[in-house]
Amino acid sequence: MTRTESLGALCLTVAITACGGGGGGDSSDTDSNTNQNSQVTMEALGRKLFFDTNLSSGSNQACASCHDPDSGFADPRVTVDAPVSEGSVGGTFGDRNAPTAAYAAFTPSFTTVAAAAQTPETDSKYEGGQFLDGRALDLVTQAKGPFLNPLEMNNASAEEVVGKVQNSDYAHEFTALFGEDAFSDTDTAYHNIATAIAAFESSDEVNPFSSKFDAYLNGDYTFTTSEQRGFDLFQDATKAKCANCHPLGTTSEESLFTNFRYYNIGTPSNPQNPANIADSSFVDQGLGASSAIERGDEAAERGKFRVPTLRNVELTAPYMHNGVYETLEEVVLHYDIQVANLFITPEVNDPNIAAEMNAGTFEGLNLSDQERVDLVNFMLTLTDGYF
């Protein structure tokens, strides 16, 4: 999906028109021009919805609470010792580290990978979809989920969410886009709320492509010596192998740093995850427990999570689906040492896991200390805001 296609599918502009009143012709012409130039965009409405804390049960949590622009659209509140987001109801937590919302608009819909495309180094039957386990087909479907999740925004029903929007100070913008009867049908209104949020998440604000790496692609930035070494290592299919799952291209839009597929990479449990604190035997089955996969595939997909984008990875710590790693250095060590040897028992420790870790992409990297530093320095060039 190109950037134009993803934005064009969601971003709609509707002019607010009004009838001119009495008075002279010049005044009427002025009023008419003013009305024609007064516009409500789907993107702007979606932004207001995204930042509205009133759309949670406690009027204390918005989409932006867990997807803060200043933190790469991830949750600034989480740490390795508190690795998952707290919900609107104090003391309630999810069991996964909130992924970034940036560049999520470019994720394809959840689908099955053609058998011919499943090679030894990209052996993944599924790709795409939203959430870390792909359970939401697309961005609009995903936007509907957190409102009703008791561990997130905790609204009792879609009707409750729609009522809050209807009583908001931007309700007139909603009706300008969707019609005067926009709130008359709850299901339709709720879908339109999600559509507007998805439009904002597809905007330049959320997907700016403004990192040092993007400047490099445009010929406006020269990598430091360490960054260049890291860049070369990142692409080396026989050494660091990062680009096997986090591919890049010759343009910004081709460089999303994810192949959108699902893998179990031997991530250990995080004892600080509230789910593990509550139940030491808790295991996150990942894609294997997702309603999106074909029945009968559960065992083969256990512990697999979608490959995340590395854009803004500097800002999105802690890392992995359960926030078990605090730094990028630890993540590189995971691939360099843990994947090859499984020194730490993986969270999902099926008999087939070791075989997966030692096949193709997932064998040990044997990196030097300097090579690990160089890889991290390259990844730091993926932070937006350079220009």
In our burial notation (b when 16+ CB lie closer than 10 A, e otherwise), range 98-126 reads: bbbbbbbbbbeebeebeeeeeeeebebbb
Q: Report the CATH number of the 41-207+241-366 domain.
A: 1.10.760.10
Judge whether residue 150 has pLDDT over 80.
yes
Would you call 74 exposed, middle or buried from its count of C-beta atoms within 10 A (0-12, 13-18, 19+)? buried
**How high is the pLDDT of residue 40?**
82
Q: Are 170 and 182 in contact (CB under 8 A)?
A: no
Buried b (16+ CB within 10 A) or exposed e, 294-303: eeeeeeebbb
Helical residues (DSSP H) of 237-385, grouped into ranges: 274-278, 328-333, 339-341, 353-357, 369-379
Exposed, middle or buried, 283 (CB in 10 Å: 0-12/13-18/19+)? middle
Structure letter (DSSP) for residue 308:
P
pLDDT at 328: 98
Query: In the chain, what are the domain boundaries?
Result: 41-207+241-366
pLDDT of residue 120: 55
The per-residue pLDDT for range 104-140, each reduced to its tens digit, is 999 999 999 877 666 655 568 999 999 999 999 999 9
pLDDT attached to residue 339: 72
Distances (CA, A) of 65 to 7, 88, 251, 350: 24, 10, 31, 36
Identify the residue whose tokens are 């932006």.
64
Tell me what pLDDT residue 12 has.
Answer: 43
Q: Identify the pLDDT of residue 358.
A: 54
Q: What is the mean pLDDT of residues 232-247?
A: 94
pLDDT for 171 beyond 90: yes
Alpha-carbon distance of 326 to 344, in angstroms, equals: 16
Backbone angles phi, psi at 296, to 5 degrees: 100, -15
The three-state secondary structure class of 329 is: helix
Burial class (CB in 10 A: 0-12, 13-18, 19+), 63: buried
| Summary mean pLDDT of the chain | 88
Q: What is the mean pLDDT of residues 34-39?
A: 42
Assess contact for 293 and 284: CB atoms under 8 A: no
Both tokens of 123, joined, read 């052996």
With a cut of 50, say whether residue 318 has pLDDT above it.
yes
Share of the chain above pLDDT 90, in %: 75
Determine the average pLDDT of the residues in 288-302: 93
pLDDT in tens, 52-107: 999 999 999 999 999 999 999 999 999 988 999 999 999 999 999 999 999 999 99
- pLDDT reported for residue 95: 92
- What confidence score (pLDDT) does residue 361 get? 59
| Contact between 277 and 95 (Cβ < 8 Å) | no
pLDDT reading at 283 higher than 70: yes
Mean pLDDT along residues 186-190 = 99
pLDDT tens across 264-273, in order?
888 999 999 9
Q: CA 358 → CA 148, 266, 285, 341, 361, distances in Å? A: 40, 11, 21, 9, 8
The helix (run of H) or strand (run of E) holding residue 14 is: strand 13-15
Mean pLDDT calculated for residue range 354-372: 75
Tokens of 119: 């090679």
Q: Say yes or no to pLDDT of 348 above 60.
A: yes
> For residue 62, what pLDDT is reported?
98
Whether the Cβ atoms of residue 95 and residue 105 lie closer than 8 Å to each other: no
Say if residue 18's pLDDT is above 70: no
Which of 314, 351, 325 minimizes the C-alpha distance to 97? Answer: 325
Q: Does the pLDDT of residue 8 top 70, yes or no?
A: no
Enumerate helices (H) and strands (E) in the chain, giving the number of each: 15, 6
- How far, rounded to the nearest angstrom, does the alpha carbon of residue 244 sit from its chain's CA centroid? 20
Please give the model's pTM, rounded to 2 decimal places. 0.88
